[in-house]
A and B are shown apart, each in its own frame.
Chain A
Amino acid sequence: EDQVTQSPEALRLQEGESSSLNCSYTVSGLRGLFWYRQDPGKGPEFLFTLYSAGEEKEKERLKATLTKKESFLHITAPKPEDSATYLCAVTGANSKLTFGKGITLSVRP
């Protein structure tokens, strides 16, 4: 069974303090790893898809990387508007989209 573990559960940063969010996964036949952002009371918003180890993608202050066992979401010089819950999900050979529990990020001004 596919599994996704995210750490830490919660992260508090000062504005401008860079950090990384971790997503560890076990999946049979990885077909894609996805990062989402979720604001309170809203559905998850798609950020990135990574397909193979070594792949990297960037969007504004966010950069996602992928190895054979984990993915990192690096946040450079975060701003208060980056505060949200970040969800990691994987799809394997069974085509099932499995999510982790998410990491709640708070950025203080």
Chain B
Amino acid sequence: EAGVVQSPRYKIIEKKQPVAFWCNPISGHNTLYWYRQNLGQGPELLIRYENEEAVDDSQLPKDRFSAERLKGVDSTLKIQPAELGDSAVYLCASSHSGEVIKTEAFFGQGTRLTVV
């Protein structure tokens, strides 16, 4: 079974430029997460989708970040314009979530963003 696929793996951009990350979750997983991980820190949630609905985007900097999950499968995270402080690893994860049982989330390899 294929895991969570993210692209690109690495991205270097100049500040004020736009950037987009793509994620394809595990087939059948209804929950999709975008996390940001700074060096030496744990992942921090940016947004969580249940199917195509964003159910938790309280930590997403909405002035410059946007995300979408069309048809409840693939997802795209965009930053426009990028700032130096956005340099980090952006992780996508997916899980199968029901009303009672919360199953484990599986992560992709991440996209390492460097803003110069």
Interface residues of A (CB under 8 A from B): 4, 6, 31-32, 34, 36, 41-46, 49, 87, 89, 91, 94-102
B residues 31-45 in Cβ contact with A at 8 Å: 33, 35, 40-45
B residues 1-49 in Cβ contact with A at 8 Å: 4, 33, 35, 40-45, 48
Find out whether the CB atom of A34 lies under 8 angstroms from the CB atom of B104: yes
Q: Cα distance A91–B95 when bound, in Å? A: 12
Find out whether the CB atom of A99 lies under 8 angstroms from the CB atom of B103: no
Listed by A's residue number, 20 A-B pairs whose Cβ atoms lie within 8 Å are A6-B42, A31-B102, A32-B104, A44-B43, A44-B93, A45-B107, A46-B104, A49-B104, A89-B42, A91-B102, A95-B55, A95-B56, A95-B97, A96-B48, A97-B33, A97-B93, A100-B42, A101-B40, A101-B42, A102-B41
Q: Tell me the minimal C-beta distance from B48 to chain A in angstroms.
A: 7
Find out whether the CB atom of B42 lies under 8 angstroms from the CB atom of A87: yes
B106 at interface (Cβ–Cβ under 8 A)?
yes
Q: Considering the complex, give the chain A residue whose CB is closest to the CB of B48.
A: A96
Chain B interface residue count, Cβ-Cβ cutoff 8 angstroms: 26
B76 at interface (Cβ–Cβ under 8 A)?
no
Q: Considering the complex, give the chain A residue whose CB is closest to the CB of B107.
A: A43
CB neighbours (8 Å) of B106 from chain A are: 46
Which one, B40, B48, B97, B110, contacts A43 given CB within 8 A? B110
**Residue of B42, B48, B101, B112 with highest tally of chain A CB at under 10 A:** B42
Find out whether the CB atom of B102 lies under 8 angstroms from the CB atom of A44: no
Q: Cα distance A32–B101 when bound, in Å? A: 8
